[in-house]
Structure 1
Amino acid sequence: MRWTLGAFVVPVVVFAVVGYAYVHAKGGELAQIAVVPRQLVAIAVVCAVLLVVWLGVLVSTYLSTRPARPTTGQRIGGNLLTMALAVAITAPLATTGYYATVQAGTIRTIAGDPQSATVPTISGSGDNPWGGKRRVNLLLLGGDGGVGRTGIRTDSVILASMDTHTGRTVLFSLPRNLRDVPFPDGTELHDLYPDGFDLGTDPGESMLNAIYRNVPATNPDAIRGSDNEGADALKLGVSGALGISVDYYLLVNLQGFQQIVDAMGGITVNVNEKVPINGNTSAGIPPTGYIQPGPHKRLDGFKALWFTRGRYGSTDYKRMERQRCAINAIVDEADPAKLLLRYTKLASVGKKILRTDIPQDVLPAFVDTALKMKDQQLTSVVFQRSSDFDPNDPDYDVVHETVQRALRTAEKATTSGRRAPAKAATPHQRALVGARVAVRAATDALPSRSEARDLLAQRRQAREDARQAASDDAQDSLQATTAKDDCAYHPETGDESDDDGSDGADVSAAATLPARTD
């Protein structure tokens, strides 16, 4: 009997050890499994079966090995030992099965079976989950009401453009009061609003943050095959404004943001100016308090909410900066061990306040990109009022140019060195051309007229390529030296300490808009 039990138990233990080693070696694959409900259910079932088997093995072993007439001490000791072993062995299995069940329910609730008219078709597998898609663009929305409401206003609009190969991410922040938002050519919304989104009534109802609510309300049949027409309309609007496709969206109820931060245990940010709590500028209602400036301040959910929302006596653009910094802080807090300890609370909150059109079968690819993103630097581009950008009369060609420059800069940051211009002559080539002319002159073998034209054209092209390369270098250098890390500690007034707050702060280089030449 003991041999039979041993023959069963030893392979199970070996399997557990090998499984543990595999999990540590294949952390990415494990994380991807965690977003596939059917695999999570399978894990829960396996855990339940193993739990029952282990308990059976323990009880059988105890009954077969105890003395025929045990003393009171032996009986008590044997019972306690069996119970201790049962708890030690079954607790991990029960916990794993429970988490797997909760996670499966969470994924099915948040990303159940979304119907969207704007999601791309992805055909990836294995080591290349995104197929041939180099960048995936996720629209992050913060709304002022429940995620199921059609009347929600999206006051926070940030597009995260993620490199699927490296995880390097650029955040584009658009102001909520952006006007004349264009829709891409070929869409029904472009036909309805050829000059950009404008209802021709109250200007406040034609801003970027009103698209989610007002497009479905005024043109309910403009987008078909969607269970969230407002989100699809806003995706198309942001796509037209930035000049790049928007693949998916993630909507967060801003009140629920407080619950997320509390569930995570708080976030750490640098506060560079007094941030108001409550208050209404137009109504003349003062704040009830302030978040005071300081480096590396730990904020609970309530203060984190007002860090991202407060703007009494401030501007939308300052608030946009703080929202990007809050995203950075959340990424920094996303430590797997820490999240696991608070997982059930996070899952419960997430089901209530999140909405997305990311299909379940795409979630593993997002996990793969997120794991890469964790080790990369977040770059931010904020479109704020300046001599080059007016949200009431935006030049979308300038916006598109800025977006493309930011993406090219992020692309260059992942490579080692700059490639030489394709047509630029190297010093060696120019030397050969010069030597050729010198030899011909010395031997009176002057080049023909056509050859001379070719040589002059080569020299002109070389000079032009050199000037262009120098211009690109100067522009990149200017951006690098004038870029401002909005999330580092640089108080607006009165430095409160000698610490600049840069240690441990995530760098977020804010790309500047190009100067006009006209």
Structure 2
Amino acid sequence: MVDGDPAAAAGASGGTGRGPAGGRAGVPGRLAEALLIAAVSPVVPGIAHLRAGRVRLGGALLGAQAAALTAAALAAGRYRALFLELSARPSWLLALAAACVALAALWALLIAHSYAVLAPEGLAPLWRLAGGTTVSVLCLLVIVPPLTLAQYGYVQRHLIRTIFADGPVAAAAVQVAARRMDTGDAARRPAAPRLNVLLIGSEPGAPQAPDRVGGITLAAVDARSGATTLLSLPDGLRRVPVWSGTEPVPFPPGRPLADVYREGAAHPELLAGGGPVRDPGAELLKRTVAHMLGLDVPYYVKVDARGVRELAATTSRAAPAKKGCPFWANLRETRPLAVLKRYQRLARVLINSVKTDVPRRLLPALAGLAARIENAEITSLRPAAGGPSAPRADHPALRAMAAREPGDPVPAVRPASGLPILIKSCN
């Protein structure tokens, strides 16, 4: 070995290039190596410490990374429904945002520390400036993904807290939205629980005028399988039995079903039971449809037409709409990644366009149900064009269709019934 040889001096100092005798000729190479290893340290934590001879710390970091990745992979494969449920809990979303911020800080710290244990000593000021600047840029780049995820979590939390009420859960909804179903012998199981939700489309009116309602659909969901039936109710239904919740409400027989919303919005005192109501018009319409069809309809979801158009514009590039299927069914076909890219816009549209009385505390159960709906059969039922122009609200064909269990084969209704119904699979 020749004294003063930079390579020999580097080897004598443990191969890290940190000794002052490392010479100036190998500074760019050693600096580049330190920066490269620091850059990959968030993906392979501990590699810099192993390179510097700190075996225990490097091994511990690698082991922790491997354990975390294994647990995440197993959880993603087996507990997807649980993740959906947690994504509907504001407290968990807040914890997720905080954890992502902490992860961003840890990754930045890991990059800085990895560079510090490998950076050659005795660097000239220009090299120190170059190394420090590069490390700062790497830290800024590495914190973008976790901070973006934290932002998504915060937006999701704001969406949930804005749209969904922090109110009581209807007793019937608790039964049908149970997250854990009996999977025993079919002969011993009760009839499949069912959740009915009234979907209302509306057109925003003047500032002092109620919205115009159109596109009234009853969604019936089998809580065990996720099978869904969407029954579109004609806007022109006449002789509507308006129901306050405990007794009939006087309503001219010539006025259509869509006018029930305006009646409730203009006269909130018609609702029985008192107490605060988010949307009296939607509440009166929901109670009327439930009474008209002889079903329990605990909740409604109302979306204005402008919001529907914006939602369609947001999701149409992700999946083409299926002709003959309601917008509600086509929403299921959007690709998660495409929606995620436009999620902030989608959340803003939902906050401005959606009203519902679904309580916030029921969302985790409904998120688990949504996971089953994704792969289940969705059937759209609607009265055929060319039928009676003003059918009665108590038409037996409507009640018969509404009473069928979701997922059951739906026989075509004969024209002799006076109200032919078109059937369309939305899968």
User: TM-score, normalized by length of structure 1?
Assistant: 0.61
| Partner in structure 2 of residue 102 of structure 1 | 155
Whether the aligned pair in 2 keeps the contact of 1:385 and 1:391 (CA below 8 Å) is no
| Partner in structure 2 of residue 381 of structure 1 | 381
Whether the aligned pair in 1 keeps the contact of 2:240 and 2:394 (CA below 8 Å) is no
SS, match of residue 320 in structure 2: strand
| Partner in structure 2 of residue 331 of structure 1 | 332
What is the CA distance between 1:57 and its match in structure 2? 2.8
Paired residue type of 1:402: M
Q: Distance in 2 between matches of 1:346 and 1:214?
A: 31
| Partner in structure 2 of residue 113 of structure 1 | 166
Paired residue type of 2:356: T
Q: Distance in 2 between matches of 1:84 and 1:377?
A: 50
Q: Check if 1:251 corresponds to 2:302.
A: yes
User: CA 1:119/1:354 → structure 2, altered by over 3 Å: closer, same or farther?
Assistant: farther
Q: Check if 1:9 corresponds to 2:71.
A: no
What is the CA distance between 1:85 and its match in structure 2? 4.7
1:106-126 deviation line (CA, Å, top 9, x unaligned): 11111142579x774516665
Paired residue type of 1:169: T
Q: Distance in 2 between matches of 1:261 and 1:219?
A: 32
Whether the aligned pair in 1 keeps the contact of 2:412 and 2:421 (CA below 8 Å) is no
State the superposition RMSD in angstroms: 3.5
| Partner in structure 1 of residue 241 of structure 2 | 182
| Partner in structure 2 of residue 417 of structure 1 | none
Q: Distance in 2 between matches of 1:325 and 1:146?
A: 23
| Partner in structure 2 of residue 345 of structure 1 | 345
| Partner in structure 2 of residue 262 of structure 1 | 313
**Counterpart selection for 2:180 from 101, 122, 127:** 127
Residues 79-94 of structure 1 mapped to structure 2, 5 A cutoff: 79=132, 82-83=135-136, 85-87=138-140, 89-94=142-147
SS, match of residue 208 in structure 1: coil
Q: Distance in 2 between matches of 1:395 and 1:254?
A: 27
SS, match of residue 199 in structure 2: strand
User: TM-score, normalized by length of structure 2?
Assistant: 0.72
Whether the aligned pair in 1 keeps the contact of 2:240 and 2:392 (CA below 8 Å) is no
SS, match of residue 158 in structure 1: strand
Q: Check if 1:363 corresponds to 2:416.
A: no
Q: Distance in 2 between matches of 1:219 and 1:355?
A: 17
Whether the aligned pair in 1 keeps the contact of 2:381 and 2:421 (CA below 8 Å) is no
| Partner in structure 1 of residue 16 of structure 2 | none
Which segments of 5 or more consecutive residues in structure 1 lack a partner in the other structure? 272-321, 414-474, 487-506, 510-518
Q: Distance in 2 between matches of 1:394 and 1:144?
A: 22
User: CA 1:83/1:9 → structure 2, altered by over 3 Å: closer, same or farther?
Assistant: farther
Residues 78-477 of structure 1 mapped to structure 2, 5 A cutoff: 78-79=131-132, 82-83=135-136, 85-87=138-140, 89-113=142-166, 120=172, 122=174, 126-128=179-181, 134-145=193-204, 151-183=210-242, 187-190=245-248, 192-193=249-250, 198-199=251-252, 203=254, 206-218=255-267, 220-223=269-272, 224-225=274-275, 226-266=277-317, 268-269=320-321, 322=324, 324-332=325-333, 334-384=334-384, 391-404=390-403, 407-408=404-405, 410-412=406-408, 476=411
Q: Distance in 2 between matches of 1:119 and 1:174?
A: 26
What is the CA distance between 1:51 and its match in structure 2? 1.7
Whether the aligned pair in 2 keeps the contact of 1:110 and 1:355 (CA below 8 Å) is yes
Q: Distance in 1 between matches of 2:373 and 2:229?
A: 11
Q: Check if 1:70 corresponds to 2:123.
A: yes
Q: Distance in 1 between matches of 2:287 and 2:208?
A: 20
Which segments of 5 or more consecutive residues in structure 2 lack a partner in the other structure? 1-48, 183-189, 415-419
